[in-house]
């Protein structure tokens, strides 16, 4: 028979999952506004301005527009795969958060009860995130194929080739982090970087910054953002794998992309920038969750900044960077890291 | 109780999707069913308390190998007209070979020769699943592990050699 404790635990977990899912679902709305606003300011224009003050209600207008748009399924499309592809893209983006901690524990001020800020304390967390995060690409490949259109198919193909090339580099970077922190568990990885900013993995000289660079470049390629967004290259493929999608199905792809960006920001912080640890010991009176959110926000801003500053690579350059630079570099780096740890 | 219930769900889905892999006409659909099948196997690994193997299964097979499969299928067969079987009279030997393999595997499984015991580990040691697997691979089973690596390397070299030969006139 299940005991009372177990039932309470399950209820708490369900509530946590529900709250987290709601937050992640809502997150792309402010992010799209932010992205357009930042884009605007970088390109010396105003960005969204008309709906609400400073265009802050623009995401709601966009959401309403997307909801009421006609859901078009091309006549020659593979109907079933076309319809489920956006969901295949979206579900892994959410499932990844089962292993991502947002903090250690949080004390609710009035009741005094402690709530764990993570869903599961998985001891293969890093591997789980890599594995599940990689599944999103199926949504894009299958969506591109099922549309039965040249542009979409080419987008899907580019997506799969790009994914294979850069997943290796990213996994090597994570292996590097695992070597430095001596654990696959994300909580342990953060704990190993406690103290001051000198113990962050990023500053484990000389290999830390190299691992971070590999992770960052590989991740940007994996989440299909400029300068690596070859799979939806609007200059040559109209809009790549989601050319034929409209309305809500299209917005599911966008949702998955934004959630992936948040995930990569969170992972950069956890793997290389000490998670929720304060950079100096005397600053630890500021709650850890604030440090965590601050660092994550910086990375989200960083990705948007990169998007509107860099031009897109050519496809051959993309492959060259993946296979001829990142992978050999990470192999050498693994050797150096291993030698340093002996 | 719960575990058995879930095991039957995963096992049923795995078998049904495995049958679908070989029975549907469209190669892309086959690949999708294979992905479903591999995911179920990963779920069974979780039930067997080896989260590391489950994650590795999803990561390597579902995440990398199947992406390559899909890529190849999509590049090779763009037009639907070509989706007809080309067996070239290989079906009879294939059936015989499959039958022999099936009997061999069944015999081994029934005799209990398919297991490679890790030694005795209690629940607490199994929590450190990754370490247990790693240590077993690099100490006790180092020879088979190296042999498998060499075979994989040979396959890789072979694949590249096949492609190279086509290029030279």
Domain-located, residue B92: no
Identify the domain containing residue B28 by its residue range.
Answer: 2-79+119-167
Contact A229, A312 (CB under 8 A): yes
pLDDT at A194 over 70: yes
Strand partners, A107: A114
pLDDT, average across residues A199-226: 85
Q: Which residues touch B52 (CB under 8 Å, ≥6 apart)?
A: A124, A127, B129, B130, B133
Kindly state whether residue B51 falls inside one of the protein's structural domains: yes
Tell me how far apart the alpha carbons of residues A199 and A85 are, in angstroms, rounded to a whole number.
42
Asked whether A245 and A156 are in contact (CB, 8 A), the reply is no
- Please state the domain count of chain B: 1
For chain B, what is the radius of gyration of the CA atoms? 20
CA distance linking residue A87 with residue A83, whole number of Å: 8
Residue B49 included in any domain? yes
Q: Do A124 and B130 touch (CB under 8 A)?
A: yes
Residues 97-116 on B with a CB inside 8 Å of A are: none
| A-contacting residues in B 132-151 (Cβ below 8 Å) | none
- Predicted confidence (pLDDT) per residue in B111-135, tens digit: 877 665 655 656 666 667 777 788 8
Assess if residue B99 is contained within a domain. Answer: no
Average of per-residue pLDDT across B92-110:
89
Give tens-digit pLDDT for A283-321. 777 888 888 888 899 999 998 888 888 888 888 888 888
- Residue A271 tokens read as 């793997």
Q: Which of B65, B35, B68, B48 is nearest to B6 (CA)?
A: B48
Residue of A124, A157, A171 with shortest CB distance to B74: A157
User: For B1-28, what is each residue's pLDDT tens digit?
Assistant: 777 888 899 999 999 999 998 888 788 8
- Indicate the domain borders of chain A: 1-68, 69-341
B160 CB near a chain A CB, below 8 Å?
no
Average pLDDT over residues A68-83: 84
Residue A138: count other Cβ atoms within 10 Å of its Cβ.
25
In a domain, B8, yes or no: yes
Helices (H), chain A: 4-26, 28-42, 58-68, 79-95, 125-133, 136-146, 150-181, 186-191, 207-222, 234-237, 247-272, 288-307, 315-320, 327-341
Has residue B86 been placed in a domain?
Answer: no
CATH number at residue B158: 1.20.120.1200
pLDDT of res. B152: 92
Tell me whether residue B91 is in a domain.
no
Interface check A17 vs B, CB under 8 A: no
Domain-located, residue B44: yes
Tokens for B21, please give them.
Answer: 């892999």
Beta bridge partners of A116: A105
């Amino acid at each position: 028979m299940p005991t009372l404790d177990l039932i309470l635990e399950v209820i708490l977990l369900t509530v946590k999952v529900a709250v987290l899912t709601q937050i992640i679902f809502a997150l792309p709305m402010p992010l799209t506004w932010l992205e357009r606003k930042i884009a605007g300011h970088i390109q010396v224009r105003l960005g969204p301005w008309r709906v609400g003050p400073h265009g802050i209600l623009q995401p709601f207008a966009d959401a309403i527009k997307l909801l009421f748009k006609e859901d078009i399924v091309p006549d020659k499309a593979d109907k079933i795969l076309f319809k489920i592809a956006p969901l295949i893209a979206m579900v892994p983006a959410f499932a990844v958060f089962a292993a991502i901690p947002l903090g250690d524990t949080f004390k609710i001020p009035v009741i005094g009860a402690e709530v764990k800020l993570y869903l599961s304390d998985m001891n293969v967390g890093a591997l789980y995130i890599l594995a599940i995060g990689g599944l999103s690409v199926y949504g894009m490949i299958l969506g591109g194929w099922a549309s039965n259109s040249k542009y979409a198919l080419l987008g899907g193909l580019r997506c799969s080739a790009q994914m294979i090339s850069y997943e290796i580099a990213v996994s090597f970077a994570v292996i590097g982090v695992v070597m430095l922190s001596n654990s696959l568990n994300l909580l342990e990885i953060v704990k190993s970087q406690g103290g001051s900013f000198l113990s962050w993995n990023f500053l484990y000289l000389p290999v830390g910054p190299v691992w971070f660079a590999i992770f960052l470049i590989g991740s940007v390629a994996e989440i299909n953002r400029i300068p690596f967004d070859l799979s939806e290259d609007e200059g040559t493929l109209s809009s790549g794998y989601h050319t034929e999608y409209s309305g809500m199905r299209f917005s599911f792809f966008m949702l998955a992309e934004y959630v992936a960006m948040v995930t990569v920001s969170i992972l950069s912080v956890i793997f290389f920038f000490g998670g929720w640890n304060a950079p100096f010991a005397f600053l630890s009176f500021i709650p850890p969750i604030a440090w965590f959110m601050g660092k994550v926000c910086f990375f989200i801003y960083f990705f948007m900044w990169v998007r509107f500053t860099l031009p897109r690579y050519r496809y051959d350059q993309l492959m060259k960077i993946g296979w001829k630079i990142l992978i050999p570099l990470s192999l050498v780096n693994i050797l150096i890291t291993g030698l340093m740890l002996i | 109780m719960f575990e058995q219930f879930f095991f039957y769900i995963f096992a049923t889905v795995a078998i049904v999707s495995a049958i679908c892999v070989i029975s549907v006409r469209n190669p892309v659909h086959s690949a999708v069913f294979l992905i479903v099948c591999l995911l179920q196997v990963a779920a069974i690994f979780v039930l067997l308390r080896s989260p590391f193997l489950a994650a590795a299964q999803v990561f390597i097979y579902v995440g990398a190998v199947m992406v390559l499969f899909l890529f190849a299928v999509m590049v090779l067969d763009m037009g639907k007209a070509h989706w007809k079987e080309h067996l070239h009279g290989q079906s009879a030997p294939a059936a015989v070979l499959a039958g022999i393999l099936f009997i061999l595997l069944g015999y081994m499984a029934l005799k209990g020769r398919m297991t490679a015991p890790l030694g005795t580990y209690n629940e607490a040691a199994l929590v450190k699943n990754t370490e247990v697997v790693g240590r077993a691979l690099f100490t006790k089973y180092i020879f088979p592990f190296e042999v498998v690596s060499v075979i994989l390397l040979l396959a890789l070299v072979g694949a590249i050699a096949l492609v190279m030969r086509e290029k030279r006139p």
